[in-house]
Structure 1
Amino acid sequence: MELQDYWRTVRRRWRLVLGSVLVVLAVAAVWTWSVTPTYASTTRIFVSTSQTDENSAYTGNLFATQRVASYADLVTSNQLAERVADDLGDTDAMDLREQVTASAVPETVLLEIQATDADAERARDIAQAYAEQLQLLVEELETPRGETTAVVKATLIDDAQVARTPVAPQPLRNLALAGILGLLLGVGLAVARELLDTSVKTADDIAEITSAPVLGNIFQDTDAKRAPSEVLFTATPWAEAFRVLRTSMQYVDIDNAQKVIVITSSLPGEGKSTTAVNLAVTLTQAGQKVALVECDLRRPLIADRLELDGAIGTTSVLIGKVSAQDVMQQYADTSLDVMVCGQIPPNPSELLQSQAMEMLLLDLRQRYDVVILDAPPLLPVTDAALLATRADGAVVVVSHGRTTRDQLSTAIERLGSVDATTLGVVVNQAPAKKSASGYGYGYGYAPLEDEAVTAGGGKRRRR
């Protein structure tokens, strides 16, 4: 992946990134405010030698500097911890060792001792006791045998003080680090999910699977739940998406004046029936004579969706009870003729492969400009592939971010295995683009009304 790919991934999955940041911040906040505050107190000890002349003082300073590092190790020794425990009383020496640290100030003869505790006053007492006991221990260790004066002296120069603010936890630092960690975690999860996600989302994904063109992108819109007779005759992005699809369909199989087109998908729930219905209604708006035939004889939806009588339909024609003309129903105020499923048969595949089905399609091709066949999905059953061999081809509907590349590839292979033509792909539930809808509402969806006559007889323009 290139840098721009990472950026697109973060933009596409910004909710995951934001969620990761918020979760890590929440955990850090809970931990920060639930941890017992810890206070620290520090003392300083100056290490010196007893030399008085200039040369001896310089040598003694080097010696003292080297000694400071040794004294820092003494602070964490068992012997000094036991002395401090005896001095403070009712204190465990092992616990004291974990509460105290010592460090030599670089290029100096200063030694810093820091003690931490949940009680600020106790932290001060521990640091002060360590400094005092270290003084005595240094004096004992640095006094030569038979002498009364120590070669090196440790002098307490800064007494321990009671801290007013705790050293831990540090809310601002913790939250800042949590924010950075959450951001890195979120980006990592987004990239990992992108790499593991095999769903179809872009035209490039489809191009890798099939050479068939992308005929249209049907954006997510609340208008999808409304009746086609209501929404497709209004100026909405949803209606415009189907007009674009209608325009693309004009370039499909241009050698045939009468077209029979199968609308199918890989799996159920990808929007094939909705696409078939709305495309059929949109084609009638262009003055074409259109028939919509429900060939999904297993899970029919069109009768309920369009509020039509579902008693007789495709199955009635195929078994010879009625003619095609008798079962055609006009949808609402449109010129669309609809043949619903009718009674669900026990043998859908046999009916769709029958001679009666072939004769039905020949009859419809002669009487209509376009015949739209709403077929079952390709992967569960073979009905759609068999229908596509008798039609001019199939349009495959994929659900953006849901249909996987393997599913689409297998569906295309099903059509190819029976020498059926894949006319194109329609991407359903595509995320709406703000720029596109903004252009549409500003230009395509809000035309001016010309020269409305005023009450006084004059003319004015209005929006």
Structure 2
Amino acid sequence: MTFQQILSALWRRWWVILAVALLAGAAAGLYQARQTPTYASSATLRVSTAVSGGTLESMFGTIPVDFDPESITSAAVLEPAAGLAGEADPSALNGAITWQSVEGTRTDRLVITATALDPDTSQTWANAVAQSYSTYVQGQVETATVTLQGRYDDASAQAAALQQQAAANPNDSVVAANLARALQRVGTLGAQLDAVAVSGAPVTIQTQAGPGARQGTPPTTIIGVAVLAGLLAGAGVALTWAKVDTRVRSTSELDAEIDVPLIADLAWDRHLRKRGERLPALSSARTALTEGLRTARTGLQVLGRDKGAAFVITSVEPNDGKTFLSANLAVAWARTGKKVILVAGDLRRPELPAYFATAAEGPGLADLLQRGLDGEELTAEAVESMLNDTDITGLRILPSGADLRDPADYLASDGLHRIISITREDADIVLIDSPPSLGLTDAALLAEHATGAVVIYSLGRSERDRIIATVDDLIAKDVNVLGLIANRSDKKVPASYGRYYHSEKHR
């Protein structure tokens, strides 16, 4: 579609664009009218270097003290703060207080923020919690000091008694040794008491909280953005009318056309590449993407219950994410304690080195296939000698190996069955990263010796007819297509489940 055709299509359906924009603006206005505004106010505490550096805690030795800022949101601080704020309910501040530690050149600071339904309440709560926490920490110091003083007094009394014994028995070496130790303990405890005395206040209020500021984006901005979004959405509707888009945008679009189940959908993380994170499965973060990977692992685990299950991971087209899926599934399985072998079955454009560096490089599958064609016996020792260990416990990789001119001819040889059989005997799970299936036969040749194949496609990019053709072609080649995995999904997590994906704990 040329630029002139686009302008013409938009002009002919200007009323659609206007209607969608007005509807979006009205919906945003209604939403804002139904929202209850919240206000946040912050107070700043100065943390002494003795506390932030751990010096004060070490002064008390084995006497337990609590200087952890996590106690700001504990009942020991919030309940007294509720009383200071004049709240009848001791738990009134629960869930309304957050804190942030700010490191400084000389001293650290703690910023305590209270959120409430009006600016004055948020200010009162923030100041009350700041005062309560300051009192709490000071109480910790005073209690520990009393204990330390008691130990000092006991040690002094013991030293005085030993001095009397030493005076009575000046030649008694045991008494002399005990006296020396007692005097040393008195000196140590005294030094600790002196150090505590000069350490100063552990926490002081540096800045009192002011009236709370309204949270969130201003309503006018939200409505303006909604109208702009409505204009863009309306333009999209108009252009869709002008030209039918055959790209699959929802997993449900394939339900009636392909008799293959959807195993999982992987959320699109726009920040993944910026962070340079290729293996999010290594992280314990609870995101929609990592949960999607775990869902895929669970689905395949159900489909391949026996030890040595082998799964070929292929895609409709290049850049659908089949190597990303293969690598992260291997990591996810290895983290469960399974013995996993990841086979670099894409002999045309191997990409596993980008995920595992040198562990995915060197001699591998191609070299073993060449040996088989040369008449050499492919023993278990020969295959295992080419398995490279990774930094992940339980995960080994069989690299792609040497470049081959015609990979499909090698994969069609009898040696492939022997190689995959050996890996299946030596592992709980075997994952095979294969080339895209559309127009290539490699995946079908690999899947002939595996439990089955998994096809990954990209939502918003893969065309419906190509996905169907890929699956039909694999089935026609007698491949057991276990299911589909949708990549780059924009599926959102329901609000009620948000806490399972994003930690609310402030650090």
TM superposition score category, shorter chain reference: 0.5 to 0.7
Q: C-alpha offsets along residues 183-202 of structure 1, whole Å, 9 cap, x if unaligned?
A: 89636415426x71111222
1:183 to 1:417, Cα distance in 2 relative to 1, 3 A: closer
Equivalent residues in 2 for 1:290-439, closer than 5 Å: 290-309=340-359, 310-320=361-371, 323-433=382-492, 435-436=493-494, 438-439=495-496
Distance 1:342 1:17, change over 3 A: farther
What SS does the aligned partner of 2:303 have? coil
Structure 1 runs (4+) greater than 4 angstroms displaced: 181-185, 438-441
Among candidates 256, 263, 282, match of residue 215 of structure 1: 263
Q: 2:331 aligns with which of 277, 281, 285?
A: 281
Matching residue of 2:319: 269
Distance 1:414 1:342, change over 3 A: same
- Between 317-326 and 355-364, the greater mean CA deviation after superposition: 317-326
1:380: how far off?
2.7
Query: Per-residue displacement from partner, 1:384-422 (whole Å, max 9, x unpaired)?
Result: 112112211110000011111110111011111111111
Q: Is the 8 A contact 2:281 2:331 kept in 1?
A: no
CA contact (8 A) 1:265 1:378 kept: yes
Q: Residues 230, 274 of structure 1: CA spacing in aligned structure 2 closer, same or farther, 3 A cutoff?
A: closer
Contact 2:262 2:485 in 1 (8 A): yes
Change in 2 beyond 3 A, CA 1:391/1:447: farther
With 228-237 and 350-359 compared, the bigger mean Cα shift is at 228-237
Letter paired with 1:186: A
The 3-state SS of whatever aligns with 2:302 is: coil
Q: How does 1:246-257 map to 2 (within 5 A)?
A: 246-254=297-305, 256-257=306-307
Pair 1:186-2:245 in alignment: no
Residue type at the aligned position of 2:324? T
Q: Does the CA-based 8 Å contact 2:279-2:355 persist in structure 1? A: no
Q: Matches of residues 225-240 of structure 1 in structure 2 within 5 Å?
A: 225-228=276-279, 231-240=282-291
C-alpha spacing 1:215/1:232, structure 2 compared with 1 (3 Å): farther
Q: Is the 8 A contact 1:281 1:334 kept in 2?
A: no
Aligned length: 275
Residue 336 of structure 2 aligns with an amino acid whose one-letter code is: A
**Cα–Cα, structure 1 residues 216 and 298, in superposed 2: closer, same or farther, change >3 Å?**
same
The equivalent residue for 1:242 is 293
Residue 418 to residue 447, structure 1, CA distance change in 2 (3 Å): same
- Alignment partners' CA distance in 2, 1:206 and 1:328: 38
CA contact (8 A) 2:457 2:486 kept: yes
- The whole-number CA distance in structure 1 between the counterparts of 2:446 and 2:496 is 39
Q: Deviations over 1:187-218 (max 9, x none)?
A: 6415426x711112223222123221111111
Give the 3-state SS of the residue equivalent to 2:484 in structure 1: strand
What percent identity do the matched residue pairs reach? 27
Change (3 A) 1:447 1:351: farther
Question: Letter of the aligned partner of 1:378 in structure 2?
Answer: S
In 2 relative to 1, CA 446–366 (structure 1 residues): closer, same or farther, beyond 3 Å? same
Closer/same/farther in 2, CA of residues 442 and 384 from structure 1, 3 Å limit: same
Distance 1:421 1:223 in 2: 32
Measure, in 2, the Cα distance between the counterparts of 1:354 and 1:237.
41
1:211–1:253 Cα change, 3 Å: farther
Residues 285 and 447 (structure 1), Cα distance of their counterparts in 2 relative to 1, 3 Å cut: farther
SS at match of 1:402: coil
Q: 2:252 aligns with which of 170, 186, 204?
A: 204
The residue identity in structure 1 corresponding to 2:452 is G
Q: Tell me how far 1:375 sits from its aligned partner.
A: 0.6
SS in 1 for 2:485: strand
Contact 1:232 1:278 in 2 (8 A): no
Amino acid at match of 2:335: Q
Q: 1:189 to 1:263 in 2, by over 3 A?
A: same
- Does the CA-based 8 Å contact 1:398-1:428 persist in structure 2? yes
1:444–1:267 CA distance, 2 compared to 1 (3 A): closer
Equivalence for 2:503 = 446
Distance change (3 Å), C-alpha of 1:273 and 1:184:
closer
Change in Cα spacing, 1:350 to 1:401, as seen in structure 2 (3 Å) is same
**Alpha-carbon displacement from aligned partner over 1:29-84 (angstroms, at most 9, x marks no partner):** xxxxxxxxxxxxxxxxxxxxxxxxxxxxxxxxxxxxxxxxxxxxxxxxxxxxxxxx
Q: 1:314 to 1:197 in 2, by over 3 A?
A: same
Cα distance in 2 between the residues matched to 1:184 and 1:298? 41
Deviation at 1:352, TM superposition (A): 1.0
8 Å contact kept, 2:317–2:438: yes
Q: CA deviation at 1:349?
A: 0.6
Shift of 1:238: 2.4
Q: Which amino acid aligns with 2:278?
A: A
- Tell me which amino acid in the other structure corresponds to 1:257: K
Q: Which amino acid aligns with 1:363?
A: I
Residues 244, 439 of structure 1: alpha-carbon distance in 2 compared, 3 angstrom cutoff: farther
Unpaired stretches in structure 1, ≥5 consecutive residues: 1-15, 23-178, 449-461
Deviation of the 1:334 alpha carbon = 3.3
- The 1:350/1:192 distance shift into structure 2, 3 A limit, reads same
Within 1, Cα distance between the matches of 2:233 and 2:345?
51
Contact 2:282 2:331 in 1 (8 A): no
